[in-house]
Structure 1
Amino acid sequence: MNKLLVLLGIFIFPLTVQAELSIGQERDTCFKKNKDIPSAYNCLSAKKEVSNKKLDTLISETVKRIKANNVGPFNGKDDSKETAGDVYNRRFLQAQKSWKDYRSQLCLSIATELDEDSYDYQSYIDQCQINLNKNHANEISQMGLPPN
Protein backbone atom coordinates (compact mmCIF):
# COMPACT_ATOMS: atom_id res chain seq x y z
CA MET A 1 0.00 0.00 0.00
CA ASN A 2 2.81 2.45 0.88
CA LYS A 3 4.58 1.71 -2.41
CA LEU A 4 1.37 2.45 -4.29
CA LEU A 5 1.00 5.81 -2.50
CA VAL A 6 4.61 6.72 -3.30
CA LEU A 7 4.11 5.84 -6.97
CA LEU A 8 0.88 7.82 -7.13
CA GLY A 9 2.65 10.76 -5.49
CA ILE A 10 5.44 10.66 -8.07
CA PHE A 11 3.01 10.75 -10.98
CA ILE A 12 0.52 13.21 -9.51
CA PHE A 13 2.96 15.78 -8.07
CA PRO A 14 4.21 17.16 -11.41
CA LEU A 15 0.63 17.71 -12.56
CA THR A 16 -0.19 19.49 -9.32
CA VAL A 17 2.77 21.85 -9.67
CA GLN A 18 1.71 22.84 -13.18
CA ALA A 19 -1.88 23.39 -12.15
CA GLU A 20 -0.91 25.47 -9.12
CA LEU A 21 1.11 27.92 -11.19
CA SER A 22 -1.72 28.52 -13.64
CA ILE A 23 -4.62 28.81 -11.21
CA GLY A 24 -5.29 31.24 -8.42
CA GLN A 25 -7.69 33.56 -6.72
CA GLU A 26 -7.15 36.38 -9.20
CA ARG A 27 -8.23 34.27 -12.16
CA ASP A 28 -11.14 32.79 -10.20
CA THR A 29 -12.33 36.23 -9.08
CA CYS A 30 -12.14 37.76 -12.56
CA PHE A 31 -14.07 34.90 -14.16
CA LYS A 32 -16.72 34.92 -11.41
CA LYS A 33 -17.25 38.69 -11.46
CA ASN A 34 -17.35 39.12 -15.23
CA LYS A 35 -20.10 37.56 -17.31
CA ASP A 36 -18.28 37.71 -20.64
CA ILE A 37 -14.87 36.20 -21.34
CA PRO A 38 -13.22 39.34 -22.80
CA SER A 39 -14.06 41.30 -19.64
CA ALA A 40 -12.68 38.50 -17.48
CA TYR A 41 -9.45 38.51 -19.51
CA ASN A 42 -9.18 42.29 -19.19
CA CYS A 43 -9.72 42.00 -15.44
CA LEU A 44 -6.98 39.41 -15.09
CA SER A 45 -4.62 41.34 -17.34
CA ALA A 46 -5.10 44.40 -15.13
CA LYS A 47 -4.36 42.31 -12.04
CA LYS A 48 -1.19 41.03 -13.71
CA GLU A 49 -0.10 44.60 -14.47
CA VAL A 50 -0.67 45.59 -10.83
CA SER A 51 1.35 42.55 -9.74
CA ASN A 52 4.18 43.45 -12.14
CA LYS A 53 4.26 47.07 -10.93
CA LYS A 54 4.27 45.95 -7.31
CA LEU A 55 7.24 43.67 -8.00
CA ASP A 56 9.06 46.43 -9.93
CA THR A 57 8.53 48.78 -6.98
CA LEU A 58 9.96 46.17 -4.62
CA ILE A 59 12.98 45.73 -6.90
CA SER A 60 13.54 49.52 -7.00
CA GLU A 61 13.27 49.77 -3.22
CA THR A 62 15.68 46.84 -2.86
CA VAL A 63 18.21 48.60 -5.11
CA LYS A 64 18.09 51.63 -2.80
CA ARG A 65 18.55 49.41 0.24
CA ILE A 66 21.47 47.60 -1.40
CA LYS A 67 23.25 50.89 -2.10
CA ALA A 68 22.50 52.35 1.33
CA ASN A 69 23.72 49.27 3.22
CA ASN A 70 26.84 48.43 1.19
CA VAL A 71 28.84 51.65 1.01
CA GLY A 72 32.35 50.29 1.50
CA PRO A 73 34.79 49.60 -1.30
CA PHE A 74 34.28 46.43 -3.32
CA ASN A 75 36.13 43.46 -1.81
CA GLY A 76 37.47 45.76 0.89
CA LYS A 77 40.06 47.26 -1.46
CA ASP A 78 40.53 50.97 -0.81
CA ASP A 79 41.63 51.61 -4.40
CA SER A 80 38.44 50.09 -5.82
CA LYS A 81 36.51 52.44 -8.06
CA GLU A 82 33.26 50.68 -7.11
CA THR A 83 31.54 50.18 -3.81
CA ALA A 84 30.28 46.81 -2.70
CA GLY A 85 26.80 48.25 -3.26
CA ASP A 86 27.61 49.10 -6.89
CA VAL A 87 28.64 45.53 -7.64
CA TYR A 88 25.82 44.00 -5.56
CA ASN A 89 23.31 46.27 -7.30
CA ARG A 90 24.57 45.44 -10.80
CA ARG A 91 24.44 41.70 -10.08
CA PHE A 92 21.01 41.99 -8.45
CA LEU A 93 19.56 43.87 -11.43
CA GLN A 94 21.02 41.35 -13.88
CA ALA A 95 19.47 38.56 -11.83
CA GLN A 96 16.08 40.35 -12.00
CA LYS A 97 16.33 40.65 -15.78
CA SER A 98 17.18 36.94 -16.05
CA TRP A 99 14.36 36.07 -13.64
CA LYS A 100 11.79 38.01 -15.70
CA ASP A 101 12.90 36.13 -18.82
CA TYR A 102 12.58 32.87 -16.87
CA ARG A 103 9.08 33.89 -15.66
CA SER A 104 7.91 34.59 -19.21
CA GLN A 105 9.23 31.34 -20.62
CA LEU A 106 8.03 29.19 -17.72
CA CYS A 107 4.50 30.59 -17.83
CA LEU A 108 4.34 30.18 -21.59
CA SER A 109 5.44 26.56 -21.28
CA ILE A 110 2.92 25.85 -18.51
CA ALA A 111 0.08 27.32 -20.56
CA THR A 112 1.14 25.19 -23.52
CA GLU A 113 1.24 22.08 -21.36
CA LEU A 114 -2.38 22.62 -20.31
CA ASP A 115 -3.36 21.65 -23.83
CA GLU A 116 -6.32 24.01 -23.86
CA ASP A 117 -7.64 25.90 -26.84
CA SER A 118 -5.24 28.67 -27.73
CA TYR A 119 -7.68 31.48 -26.89
CA ASP A 120 -7.54 30.44 -23.25
CA TYR A 121 -3.76 30.43 -22.82
CA GLN A 122 -3.44 34.08 -21.84
CA SER A 123 -5.44 33.74 -18.64
CA TYR A 124 -3.19 30.87 -17.53
CA ILE A 125 -0.08 32.86 -18.44
CA ASP A 126 -1.32 35.91 -16.53
CA GLN A 127 -2.17 33.90 -13.42
CA CYS A 128 1.16 32.09 -13.60
CA GLN A 129 3.01 35.41 -13.71
CA ILE A 130 1.00 36.72 -10.75
CA ASN A 131 1.84 33.59 -8.76
CA LEU A 132 5.52 33.74 -9.65
CA ASN A 133 5.64 37.46 -8.79
CA LYS A 134 4.31 36.68 -5.32
CA ASN A 135 6.86 33.91 -4.86
CA HIS A 136 9.70 36.11 -6.11
CA ALA A 137 8.72 38.96 -3.79
CA ASN A 138 9.14 36.50 -0.92
CA GLU A 139 12.57 35.53 -2.25
CA ILE A 140 13.66 39.16 -2.37
CA SER A 141 12.47 39.72 1.18
CA GLN A 142 14.66 36.79 2.25
CA MET A 143 17.76 38.74 1.17
CA GLY A 144 17.75 40.17 4.68
CA LEU A 145 18.44 43.79 3.77
CA PRO A 146 17.62 46.24 6.54
CA PRO A 147 15.05 48.92 5.69
CA ASN A 148 16.25 52.38 4.69
Structure 2
Amino acid sequence: MASFPPVPSFAQLVRSPVLLLAFGFGSGCARKAPGTFGTLAALPLTYLLLLLPLPGYLAVVLLAGVLGIWICHAASRKLEVHDHPGIVWDEFVGLWVTCIALPAGWWWPLLGFGLFRLFDIAKPWPISWLDRHVHGGLGIMIDDILAGLFAAVVIQLLALILS
Protein backbone atom coordinates (compact mmCIF):
# COMPACT_ATOMS: atom_id res chain seq x y z
CA MET A 1 0.00 0.00 0.00
CA ALA A 2 1.38 3.41 -0.94
CA SER A 3 2.20 5.72 1.91
CA PHE A 4 0.01 8.75 2.46
CA PRO A 5 1.89 11.87 1.31
CA PRO A 6 2.58 14.48 3.99
CA VAL A 7 -0.24 16.94 4.58
CA PRO A 8 0.33 20.65 5.09
CA SER A 9 0.36 21.89 8.65
CA PHE A 10 -2.39 24.15 9.97
CA ALA A 11 0.05 27.08 9.73
CA GLN A 12 0.76 26.27 6.06
CA LEU A 13 -2.97 26.12 5.30
CA VAL A 14 -3.61 29.47 6.98
CA ARG A 15 -0.70 31.11 5.13
CA SER A 16 -1.74 29.75 1.74
CA PRO A 17 -5.25 30.45 0.45
CA VAL A 18 -4.63 27.94 -2.37
CA LEU A 19 -3.83 25.12 0.06
CA LEU A 20 -6.64 26.18 2.40
CA LEU A 21 -9.18 25.86 -0.42
CA ALA A 22 -7.58 22.79 -2.03
CA PHE A 23 -7.62 20.99 1.32
CA GLY A 24 -11.24 21.94 1.93
CA PHE A 25 -10.53 24.25 4.89
CA GLY A 26 -8.57 21.42 6.53
CA SER A 27 -11.04 18.60 5.93
CA GLY A 28 -8.66 16.98 3.42
CA CYS A 29 -6.02 16.56 6.13
CA ALA A 30 -7.83 13.47 7.46
CA ARG A 31 -5.51 10.45 7.26
CA LYS A 32 -8.37 8.08 6.45
CA ALA A 33 -10.97 8.82 3.76
CA PRO A 34 -10.01 12.46 3.08
CA GLY A 35 -12.40 12.54 0.10
CA THR A 36 -15.31 11.56 2.30
CA PHE A 37 -14.32 14.10 4.95
CA GLY A 38 -13.98 16.74 2.24
CA THR A 39 -17.42 15.93 0.89
CA LEU A 40 -18.83 16.08 4.42
CA ALA A 41 -17.27 19.53 4.85
CA ALA A 42 -18.94 20.62 1.61
CA LEU A 43 -22.39 19.53 2.80
CA PRO A 44 -23.21 22.56 5.02
CA LEU A 45 -22.05 24.87 2.23
CA THR A 46 -24.31 22.93 -0.14
CA TYR A 47 -27.34 23.66 2.03
CA LEU A 48 -26.41 27.37 1.96
CA LEU A 49 -25.90 27.35 -1.82
CA LEU A 50 -29.29 25.70 -2.30
CA LEU A 51 -30.87 28.88 -0.91
CA LEU A 52 -29.77 30.65 -4.10
CA PRO A 53 -32.02 30.78 -7.15
CA LEU A 54 -30.96 28.21 -9.77
CA PRO A 55 -29.04 30.72 -11.98
CA GLY A 56 -27.06 31.90 -8.94
CA TYR A 57 -26.36 28.32 -7.87
CA LEU A 58 -25.16 27.44 -11.37
CA ALA A 59 -22.93 30.54 -11.49
CA VAL A 60 -21.28 29.64 -8.17
CA VAL A 61 -20.73 26.02 -9.23
CA LEU A 62 -19.30 27.08 -12.60
CA LEU A 63 -16.96 29.59 -10.94
CA ALA A 64 -15.92 27.05 -8.28
CA GLY A 65 -15.21 24.48 -11.00
CA VAL A 66 -13.15 26.81 -13.19
CA LEU A 67 -11.23 28.18 -10.20
CA GLY A 68 -10.89 24.62 -8.93
CA ILE A 69 -8.85 23.63 -11.97
CA TRP A 70 -6.35 26.35 -11.08
CA ILE A 71 -6.54 25.72 -7.30
CA CYS A 72 -5.94 21.97 -7.65
CA HIS A 73 -3.13 22.47 -10.17
CA ALA A 74 -1.41 25.09 -8.01
CA ALA A 75 -1.73 22.95 -4.86
CA SER A 76 -0.34 19.89 -6.66
CA ARG A 77 2.64 21.86 -7.89
CA LYS A 78 3.24 23.38 -4.47
CA LEU A 79 3.13 19.93 -2.82
CA GLU A 80 4.92 18.22 -5.71
CA VAL A 81 2.29 15.44 -5.65
CA HIS A 82 -0.23 15.00 -8.48
CA ASP A 83 -3.73 14.63 -7.07
CA HIS A 84 -2.69 14.47 -3.42
CA PRO A 85 -5.46 12.56 -1.59
CA GLY A 86 -5.94 15.57 0.69
CA ILE A 87 -6.88 17.85 -2.20
CA VAL A 88 -10.65 17.84 -1.81
CA TRP A 89 -11.81 20.99 -3.59
CA ASP A 90 -12.82 18.62 -6.39
CA GLU A 91 -15.12 16.82 -3.92
CA PHE A 92 -16.71 20.15 -2.97
CA VAL A 93 -17.47 20.93 -6.61
CA GLY A 94 -18.54 17.35 -7.35
CA LEU A 95 -21.12 17.48 -4.56
CA TRP A 96 -22.34 20.87 -5.76
CA VAL A 97 -22.75 19.46 -9.28
CA THR A 98 -24.68 16.54 -7.79
CA CYS A 99 -27.07 18.92 -6.07
CA ILE A 100 -27.97 21.06 -9.10
CA ALA A 101 -31.77 21.52 -9.29
CA LEU A 102 -32.53 19.22 -6.38
CA PRO A 103 -36.16 18.67 -5.47
CA ALA A 104 -37.28 20.33 -2.20
CA GLY A 105 -36.43 18.39 0.95
CA TRP A 106 -33.55 18.24 3.39
CA TRP A 107 -32.82 14.57 2.58
CA TRP A 108 -31.96 15.13 -1.11
CA PRO A 109 -28.51 16.61 -0.40
CA LEU A 110 -27.81 13.66 1.92
CA LEU A 111 -28.78 11.25 -0.84
CA GLY A 112 -26.59 13.33 -3.17
CA PHE A 113 -23.69 12.91 -0.73
CA GLY A 114 -24.06 9.12 -0.78
CA LEU A 115 -24.49 8.84 -4.54
CA PHE A 116 -21.62 11.21 -5.26
CA ARG A 117 -19.27 9.23 -2.98
CA LEU A 118 -20.42 5.99 -4.64
CA PHE A 119 -19.61 7.24 -8.15
CA ASP A 120 -16.42 8.98 -7.02
CA ILE A 121 -15.08 5.84 -5.35
CA ALA A 122 -16.33 3.25 -7.89
CA LYS A 123 -15.30 5.40 -10.89
CA PRO A 124 -17.36 3.63 -13.57
CA TRP A 125 -16.41 4.26 -17.19
CA PRO A 126 -15.81 6.97 -18.46
CA ILE A 127 -14.89 8.41 -15.04
CA SER A 128 -12.08 5.87 -14.61
CA TRP A 129 -10.74 6.59 -18.09
CA LEU A 130 -10.67 10.36 -17.46
CA ASP A 131 -9.05 9.80 -14.06
CA ARG A 132 -6.18 7.92 -15.73
CA HIS A 133 -5.74 10.02 -18.88
CA VAL A 134 -6.39 13.67 -17.98
CA HIS A 135 -3.71 15.35 -15.90
CA GLY A 136 -3.08 18.60 -14.07
CA GLY A 137 -5.81 20.60 -12.39
CA LEU A 138 -8.37 19.56 -15.00
CA GLY A 139 -7.51 15.91 -14.37
CA ILE A 140 -8.04 16.35 -10.63
CA MET A 141 -11.40 18.06 -11.16
CA ILE A 142 -12.93 16.23 -14.14
CA ASP A 143 -13.56 12.82 -12.56
CA ASP A 144 -15.38 14.41 -9.61
CA ILE A 145 -17.43 16.67 -11.87
CA LEU A 146 -18.48 13.65 -13.92
CA ALA A 147 -19.22 11.62 -10.77
CA GLY A 148 -21.39 14.56 -9.69
CA LEU A 149 -23.21 14.50 -13.03
CA PHE A 150 -23.83 10.75 -12.73
CA ALA A 151 -25.19 11.22 -9.21
CA ALA A 152 -27.34 14.17 -10.34
CA VAL A 153 -28.91 12.07 -13.11
CA VAL A 154 -29.75 9.30 -10.63
CA ILE A 155 -31.32 11.82 -8.24
CA GLN A 156 -33.39 13.41 -11.00
CA LEU A 157 -34.59 9.98 -12.14
CA LEU A 158 -35.51 9.03 -8.57
CA ALA A 159 -37.35 12.33 -8.12
CA LEU A 160 -39.25 11.68 -11.35
CA ILE A 161 -40.17 8.14 -10.26
CA LEU A 162 -41.24 9.30 -6.78
CA SER A 163 -43.34 12.23 -7.99
Please, what TM-score do these two structures have when normalized by structure 2? 0.36
Structure with more relative contact order (C-alpha pairs < 8 Å, separation 6 or more): 1
Structure with bigger helix share is 1
Between structure 1 and structure 2, the one with the greater Rg is 1
Please, what TM-score do these two structures have when normalized by structure 1? 0.39
